[in-house]
A and B are shown apart, each in its own frame.
Chain A
Amino acid sequence: MSNAVIEKNPHVTIDPAKIKGDSKRKMTIGEIIAFILLICITFTMIFPVIFMVSTALKTSKEMLQFPPTIIPNVFAWENFKTLFTNDEIKFGILYKNSIIVAVVSVIGTVFSSALVAYGFSRYRAKGKKIMFMLMISTMMLPYPAVMIPQFILFSNLGWMNTFLPLIVPTFLGSAYQIFLLRQFFMSLPNELYDSGKIDGCSEFRLFWKIAIPLSGPALATVAIFTFIWTWNDLLGPVLYLSSQEKFTLPVGLAAMMSSKFRIAPYNLLMCASIMTTLPIIAIFASAQKHFTEGIVLTGIK
């Protein structure tokens, strides 16, 4: 009751006894402001997504209208159908190729990086530090610097227009992911390995049965990063793939707007963009709980 009075009349003198109520009132105003601010920020962040969906459902004439409509006059659901049936876009094939490349790259990167990171975190060897520094320093090389030599190498191997140049390197580890996993493996207590050894585990089994199962969050992070990077990679596929049957989604999307001479089919492009972002959203949503799970603690007891 008294709270309500205070809220209605901000000029009321405050009784120290009611200080609790007063602080509560201030909180709500602050909260309201924060809430409004959050709504505004959310809207600015989400607006491109709304506009993407809206453009995806427009006919090609409405797409060019000024001022642009947010809610399409006619919902052109057939855009999605066109996307999959159009012979020039071949969206189904693009999708399949992207999934193959991304999934194999994730498997390759997670497995190889984990193995190397495990080695770096568990064993002592001469020159280990230098080797580690060398590996880390490869992160500093920008892709264009290695692009041409790599291209020449793969071209001489006869790997042009296959997925191999995109997939095989992922089985050779990635410096950044190795670094990430090494930091995580170092935090695993030695007691775990010791108990494993007492039970007669081989070195590989220590890695496979103890380190890997305990590294859910770290491996999920690596997997998600790798997935997003390969899913979005454009330059690699552009360089190595040359036939429509092998193209991945980013190449297809770039091709859709690469005409200098005609208006790009932005409505179809937006349909394609929606379809392209879906797997990323899905994977992120399903893997999110792995980020927060504290397996390490439950592992020791």
Chain B
Amino acid sequence: MKQAKKKLLLLPSLILVFVLILSACGGNSKGSSGDGDKGSGPVTITYYTIDSPDRTYVEKLIPDFESTHPNIKVKVEKAPYEQFDSKLQANVAAKNAPDLTSHFGYGGFAEYYNKGLLSDLTDIMKEDGFKASDYGIQDELMDIYKVDGKTYGIPFSNYVTIMLYNKDMFDKAGVPYPTSDYEDKTWTFDKMVEVADKLTVRDDDLEKSQYGVDFGWGEFDMRPAYLGVKVYSDDTWTNGGKPSETYFDSPEAIAAYEKFMGLIWDKKVSPPPAWSKSVSGQFGDPFLSGKIGMSIVGSWGLASQDQYNFKVGVAAVPYSGTDAPRSVLYVDPLFVLKDSKHPKEAYEFIKFLISKDVQEKSIELSGGTPPINDQAKDKYYNSFAGVDPKEIKNVYDGANKYGVESFNHLVANYSQINELFINEFAAAQNNTKPVPEVMQGIQKKLDKLLERVNK
């Protein structure tokens, strides 16, 4: 009995302790949040991005913006790449969504659009008299993030797919450099294989072996597009990224994948995955170790070129022999989220970020983000010491002319599709299963997946 009484005394004291802790904390936080959201004072907008130097450079631009826009304050929120989506999700659920962001994480534009997260900017832009040409944005690039003629995102960076090549390796093998000119139709896929063969050294010794080409043109589902093979039905692009049909087991698609896998197992000019893994170590890209002659990559590969242990050049992605697109574009847009209380102010900030001066500044601050603004592009072409600016310009012009926006931005539920491909396609990459069998397996699983997620 006595015990129980003592216990009863303990309870209130405990509660008291917690109340004290909670109240002390509550007072603390009031000062740090919720300032300037109401009334006539300046409005605060939140820009949500990835916590890495090539994304957070925006912070350094804010003082400029705030001095020219005294009624708007910009706050930057950030998360590491891997956690970007979960943090955004939690914030949206808590009605605490940022005003401005992009598809920086795993999800693409289609995912944001389908979840109804995006604001339609059309009216604000019309009211303001927005003209893409004022900001040097090509109309085709502006159209990427339009659905039914309504604008849901304004592009701000223009990554493309390029071919990087190891100049030292070419010199050593006495092979002339590939062209950067997209109009030169003699630079074909077959020619590339021929050149790659001359660069390849097949040796069991990892230190001596090297390969001619690594054909990383987009994600796996994208590759057939390079050979003019359709894998998603046309309605995908008008239907919020939801394909009614996919054709990954069509004879054309299988032939395309066999052609790409043939680089590894038939022509033996591309590295098998196991070799790449052991050579690239923690960096994930064997090209960086100087063991690959030509590598088809996103133009972000240029950003670190000053760290390479070899000289690097840029070339055009070879002509596939059809009218199919030759470059995958990764045009990143800025979105105003639907829950934003200050869409107009967020739109002002977008306009600031795509203006010529700021785009030029961004190249330097970010360490090589390609501007969307054509007026700032010269500066970009000239910002890679040791690489001929004219070649970069050629490659960009050609890529934008012959390019297609990356499927990962446009197909809904892309992260699941991509994961399925990575898991299933490994068998074809490792040559443990014939390509047709792998593709039939993928098609079956994909049908099920799409049926489930695209209801």
Contact = CB atoms under 8 A, between A and B. Distances in A.
B304 A168 contact: no
Nearest to B50: A258
Interface in A74-127: 88, 115, 119, 122-123, 125
Nearest to A89: B53
A64 B289 contact: yes
Contacts of B7: 119, 123, 203
A297 interface: no
B385 interface: no
B82 A157 contact: no
A148 B96 CA distance: 12
Contacts of B79: 238
A162 B87 CA distance: 16
Interface string A195-229: 00000001110000000000000000000000000
Interface string A52-77: 00000000110011111000000000
Contacts of B82: 254, 258
A160 B96 contact: yes
A115 B14 contact: yes
A136 interface: no
Contacts of A60: 307
Contacts of A204: 6, 10
Contacts of B52: 255-256, 258-260, 262
B453 interface: no
B282 interface: yes
Contacts of A28: none
Interface residues of A, number: 48
A164 interface: yes
A151 interface: yes
Given A147-B90, A171-B18, A159 B25 contact: yes
A64 B307 contact: yes
B281 interface: yes
B77 interface: yes
B300 interface: yes
B300 A262 contact: yes
Interface string B80-124: 111100110111011110000000000000000000000000000
Contacts of A203: 3, 6-7, 10
Contact of B206 (A67, A152, A156, A258): A67
Contacts, number: 143
Given A64-B307, A164-B29, A254-B83, A263 B283 contact: yes
B303 interface: yes
B10 A162 contact: no
B83 A234 contact: yes
Contacts of B304: 262-263
B30 interface: yes
Interface in B3-23: 3-4, 6-7, 10, 14, 18, 21-22
A235 B25 contact: no
A144 to B, nearest CB: 8
A3 interface: no
B33 interface: yes
Given A123-B3, A239-B90, A262 B83 contact: no
Given A158-B33, A262-B303, 13 more contacts: A67-B207, A125-B4, A147-B86, A162-B25, A162-B28, A171-B18, A202-B6, A235-B86, A238-B83, A242-B77, A242-B78, A262-B52, A262-B368
11 contacts: A151-B91, A156-B94, A162-B28, A164-B29, A203-B3, A203-B6, A238-B86, A251-B80, A254-B83, A259-B55, A261-B300
Which 8 residue pairs of A and B lie closest in terms of their CB atoms, listed nearest first? A66-B289, A261-B300, A254-B80, A258-B81, A259-B52, A203-B6, A255-B51, A155-B94
Interface of B: 3-4, 6-7, 10, 14, 18, 21-22, 25-26, 28-30, 32-34, 50-56, 77-83, 86-87, 89-91, 93-96, 206-207, 279, 281-283, 288-291, 298, 300, 303-304, 307-309, 367-369
